[in-house]
Amino acid sequence: MAKKLKSAAEITEFIRQALKEPELRVDIYSTPYGWHAKAYAAPHVVLEIQMKLNKVSRELQMLYQLQS
């Protein structure tokens, strides 16, 4: 099954919805292996949020390819 092409903005919105964090700042960028998402949040919660974001990203990476 071919992955669907999605923009960084679309993938960011999928992540925000999955984490139920509509105001979360997320950067999506290309890597040699596909794409990666990075969360920006207050220091006392960023590690927890990034771990959740990584889990959601792995699921989304199976479905979506980052559109250039």
Q: What is the pLDDT of residue 26?
A: 98
Mean pLDDT in each 10-residue stretch from start to end of the chain (68 residues)? Answer: 94 98 96 95 95 97 94
CA 26/CA 54 separation, integer angstroms: 11
Quote the domain boundaries for residue 22.
4-66
pTM of the model: 0.91
Q: What is the pLDDT of residue 28?
A: 98
CB 19 within 8 A of CB 59: no
Q: What is the pLDDT of residue 54?
A: 97
Per the structure, how many domains does the chain have? 1
Q: What is the pLDDT of residue 68?
A: 81
